[in-house]
Structure 1
Amino acid sequence: MTDTVVAPHAITHWRVLKIAFPIVLSNVTIPILGAVDTAVVGQMGDAAPIGAVGIGAIILSAIYWLFGFLRMGTTGLAAQALGQGNRAEVAAILTRVLMIGLAGGAAIILLQLPIFWASFRIAPASDEVESLARGYMQIRIWSAPAAIAVFGITGWLIAQERTRAVLVLQFWMNGVNVVLSMLFVLSFGWGVNGVAFATFLAEWSGLAMGLYLCRAAFRVPDWRNWARVFDRVKLVRMAQVNSDILIRSLLLQAIFLSFMFIGADFGDVTLAANQVLLQFLHITAYALDGFAFSAEALVGQAVGARAVATLRRASVVASLWGLAASVLLALAFWGFGAQIVDLMAKNAEVQQAARAYLPWMAAAPVLALASFMFDGIFIGATRTADMRNMMLVSALIYAGAALMLVPSFGNHGLWAALLISFVARGVTLAARYPALERSVAD
């Protein structure tokens, strides 16, 4: 897979779309995999296996998610090195992220017993479900190094605008997972463990595919130039960027967790309706990610080249396409939201409750656009301290809005507070954008 990188100054609409579309297509495969796993274990005729796969996958995904900084931080750093024309540093970054991914995964394996214990204290389940989930996790945990290393590979590929390679990688992993899940469960009768083995093999094969897609970097000696790989200044910079992104992501997760906890106080029906409606936000994220990733790659390269005009044009062009996508999503949610709700929930009470809050879903893509796009811009520029600080401000604004609105407006107030947090993140990052440009010009 060898996508040609266009010269840093040539920011065209086609270039943005060429980066974005494979990411959007790649994101489409994510919910499909979960649906297939659920359907496969559902053929066993018992509820416990479905619950076990669900809770086991959620716990492991939450643990791996802590390493999501590796994807974002890698994109910004590698894109800037590319913009500088420093191919040796691009190769060294790949080696660093692979080492971090493998080390992080090894740490999770070593700590699996306390991790599992804490997980089931936080999310208790029946004895049968917990037993099956533990078996599932004890198999899947051994592919943690591969799963986390793939985060770094994905970020490295995005930095070079090689999103078609990201699409190939995602399709490969999900395809292997689906085929092996059906084989192990439906043909071999391995049950929940069969799903776990399928994912284990898919993740290690995904790492192998990722390394193959990066093979050009391994044909030159720079990837194993250990003096460069372990350069103290570069390692400290990577640690700063990644720690800022981690804190920012934890704050964002805290907002969503508090949203779910507060919503639970309104009863099971409202809680279920909120869970259904959150899928609209997931759909929004899947669509806007492509354009945010375009901004990450193009802004990062412009920053590396110290080209302010190119940075500005990359930000504007990517955001224009993000705006077009957000408007289309808003219209779709407004026109077909009720039908989407009915597909996701069959309970009449949940359907009725979810419909009451659909106007918030129609507003969400437009109100959240700036937060997504500025995230991409600031990741590309590795202005991660700004991202961390503005997320803290946004979380405080969310908390204040929830305290003021929820007592008077109930669940409507809760949804308003969540969307206010998105607007606050977009506005506060926009206020920091001029400083970003100045830092490149200096």
Structure 2
Amino acid sequence: MLGQAAIPLVGVVDAAVIGRTGTAADLAGVALGASVISMVFWAFGFLRMGMSGMAAQALGRGDRDESRALLLRGLLLGFALGGGLLALSVPLQQAAFALLAGEPEVTRQAGHYATARFLGAPAALATYALTGWLIGLGRTRPALVLQLVLNLVNAAASIALVWGLGLGPFGAGLGTAIADWLALGVGLLLAGHVLGESLPATWRRLAPGTLTDRTALARIIRVNADIMARTLALLAMFTWFTNAGARLGAVELAANHVLLQFIAMAAFVLDAFAFTAESHVGQAVGARDHAAFRRAVRLTAEFSAVAGLMLALAFLALGQPLVALIATDPGVRAEAARMLPFAAAVPLLGMPSWLLDGVFIGATQGRALRNAAVAATLAYLALDLALRPYANLGAWSAFAASYLLRAGALSAHWPTLVRSLR
């Protein structure tokens, strides 16, 4: 939970340094740029999610060689895909900003932020795979260290580049890119500590052909392709919501971005229980232990419900002071305060969907994740279009309801999951 709570601080720090030194257009630009980065980077979130389920199942089977091979495959794949993103960053930005309805100045600042963030793409995607491997093995302390390094370096670099050198949104993005590379270096050292040997030594230890085993590669492709489709569907949902704010104006876009930092905090904290479910469900599936599966789901659900309630109450009590800390623009503060009850409700509404994600990821049920995400996204888009006459109120109503849609769609696949374990 500590490691997960540290993750959204990247976005909070970027929003705070811009919100307290720049204009509403600067903050809206960071919001739009961050949305583009999320849309592009998290299209490859399967590197983390697919890795955790497969690593946990390898641990449950006692297959140490496959566990080592999974790490190396994930790192190589993440670095290669990240390099491709960096090479294609210009056309990717052009396509993304053509889809998002930002004002000219907002789009210009968003481009500065996104350009800098793409410099860290290879490191960020390789770190996704490394983090997933650690979570799958239940090695949460190294994962915590990795996140703390990322966030501390990002905070220091962003403050120095934005407040110190006045580089604005570009400086905020560059600070995060620098943090991505340093975090990857630390992560590789942590992986060596977990393995008990250096990564080159692990490479030499594997039998010839292990990394290129066709059966293993086919499974990785199958699971990750489904999870990628699921992630793209959910990213479309978040991008649509961001675009709703951009369509209404810079003030609404900036205010929604501030509140999304609260939701990110809730999502990452509650994802701690989902990641625990990934690890324990994956190990139970690998060992074919139905009793361990039921226990993992029950315990993580109970803790998630309590944590979701506590977060909702905390957002209601502390939301307005936190908004004032992040943003100085009076219009942004007023609009964020008006929409705060919706953001406070999300930890409770979203808890079942986040937990079920963890359960199905641990069981590597990629097809169910894909189908549920596509169905929920289509239903959300229809609801948002129906509520457009209510402006930002309608946008937030549809967005809050999307979490219930996701949970309902995944619940429909629950009987099939239980039968597969038996």
- Smaller-chain TM-score bracket: 0.7 to 0.9
State which of 299, 305, 309 in structure 2 corresponds to 1:317: 299
* Other-structure match for 2:363: 381
Q: Which amino acid aligns with 2:304?
A: G
TM-score with structure 1 length normalisation? Answer: 0.80
| 1:238 and 2:215 matched | no
* Cα distance change of structure 1 residues 105 and 255 upon mapping to structure 2, 3 Å threshold: closer
What is the CA–CA distance in structure 2 between the aligned matches of 1:160 and 1:302, rounded to whole Å? 12
* Other-structure match for 2:354: 372
Shift, 1:107, TM fit: 1.5
Shift, 1:167, TM fit: 1.5
* Other-structure match for 1:79: 56
2:364 partner SS: coil
| 1:31 and 2:11 matched | yes
* Other-structure match for 2:410: 429
What is the CA–CA distance in structure 2 between the aligned matches of 1:97 and 1:36, rounded to whole Å? 33
What is the CA–CA distance in structure 2 between the aligned matches of 1:260 and 1:137, rounded to whole Å? 15
* Cα distance change of structure 1 residues 298 and 205 upon mapping to structure 2, 3 Å threshold: same
What is the CA–CA distance in structure 1 between the aligned matches of 2:233 and 2:35, rounded to whole Å? 19
2:138 partner SS: coil
1:225 partner SS: coil
Instruction: Tell me the number of residue pairs that the alignment of Structure 1 and Structure 2 aligns.
Output: 415
Shift, 1:67, TM fit: 1.6
For the Cα contact (< 8 Å) 2:323–2:336, is it kept in 1? yes
2:44 partner SS: coil
| 1:147 and 2:124 matched | yes
5+ residue gaps in structure 2? Answer: none
| 1:399 and 2:376 matched | no
For the Cα contact (< 8 Å) 1:77–1:300, is it kept in 2? yes
* Other-structure match for 1:252: 234
For the Cα contact (< 8 Å) 1:22–1:164, is it kept in 2? no
For the Cα contact (< 8 Å) 2:284–2:292, is it kept in 1? yes
* Cα distance change of structure 1 residues 110 and 290 upon mapping to structure 2, 3 Å threshold: same
* Cα distance change of structure 1 residues 260 and 86 upon mapping to structure 2, 3 Å threshold: same
* Cα distance change of structure 1 residues 358 and 145 upon mapping to structure 2, 3 Å threshold: closer
Q: Which amino acid aligns with 1:438?
A: R
Deviation string 1:227-257 (CA, Å, 9 cap, x unpaired) is: 2211112111111211111111111122222
| 1:159 and 2:136 matched | yes
For the Cα contact (< 8 Å) 1:223–1:229, is it kept in 2? no
* Cα distance change of structure 1 residues 46 and 253 upon mapping to structure 2, 3 Å threshold: closer
* Cα distance change of structure 1 residues 290 and 265 upon mapping to structure 2, 3 Å threshold: same
What is the CA–CA distance in structure 2 between the aligned matches of 1:345 and 1:102, rounded to whole Å? 35
Deviation string 1:71-106 (CA, Å, 9 cap, x unpaired) is: 111111111111111111110100110110121122
What is the CA–CA distance in structure 2 between the aligned matches of 1:62 and 1:345, rounded to whole Å? 24
What is the CA–CA distance in structure 2 between the aligned matches of 1:361 and 1:81, rounded to whole Å? 38
Deviation string 1:264-303 (CA, Å, 9 cap, x unpaired) is: 5555555554344333322221221111111111111111
State which of 39, 43, 46 in structure 2 corresponds to 1:69: 46
Structure whose alpha-carbon radius of gyration is higher: 1
5+ residue gaps in structure 1? Answer: 1-20
* Cα distance change of structure 1 residues 259 and 105 upon mapping to structure 2, 3 Å threshold: closer
What is the CA–CA distance in structure 2 between the aligned matches of 1:256 and 1:297, rounded to whole Å? 27
Shift, 1:369, TM fit: 1.0
What is the CA–CA distance in structure 1 between the aligned matches of 2:173 and 2:15, rounded to whole Å? 15
Shift, 1:32, TM fit: 4.9
* Cα distance change of structure 1 residues 173 and 36 upon mapping to structure 2, 3 Å threshold: farther
| 1:418 and 2:395 matched | no
* Other-structure match for 2:421: 440
* Other-structure match for 1:92: 69
What is the CA–CA distance in structure 1 between the aligned matches of 2:350 and 2:119, rounded to whole Å? 37
How large is the Cα RMSD of the aligned pairs? 3.5
What is the CA–CA distance in structure 2 between the aligned matches of 1:117 and 1:351, rounded to whole Å? 31
1:227 partner SS: coil
1:229 partner SS: coil
Report matched runs for 1:344-355 at 5 Å.
344-355=326-337
* Cα distance change of structure 1 residues 160 and 117 upon mapping to structure 2, 3 Å threshold: same
For the Cα contact (< 8 Å) 1:184–1:191, is it kept in 2? yes
What is the CA–CA distance in structure 2 between the aligned matches of 1:242 and 1:80, rounded to whole Å? 15
What is the CA–CA distance in structure 2 between the aligned matches of 1:207 and 1:87, rounded to whole Å? 23
What is the CA–CA distance in structure 2 between the aligned matches of 1:401 and 1:128, rounded to whole Å? 27
Identical positions, percent: 39
* Cα distance change of structure 1 residues 139 and 284 upon mapping to structure 2, 3 Å threshold: closer
Which shifted more, 269-278 or 92-101? 269-278
* Other-structure match for 2:209: 227
For the Cα contact (< 8 Å) 1:92–1:223, is it kept in 2? no
* Other-structure match for 2:372: 390
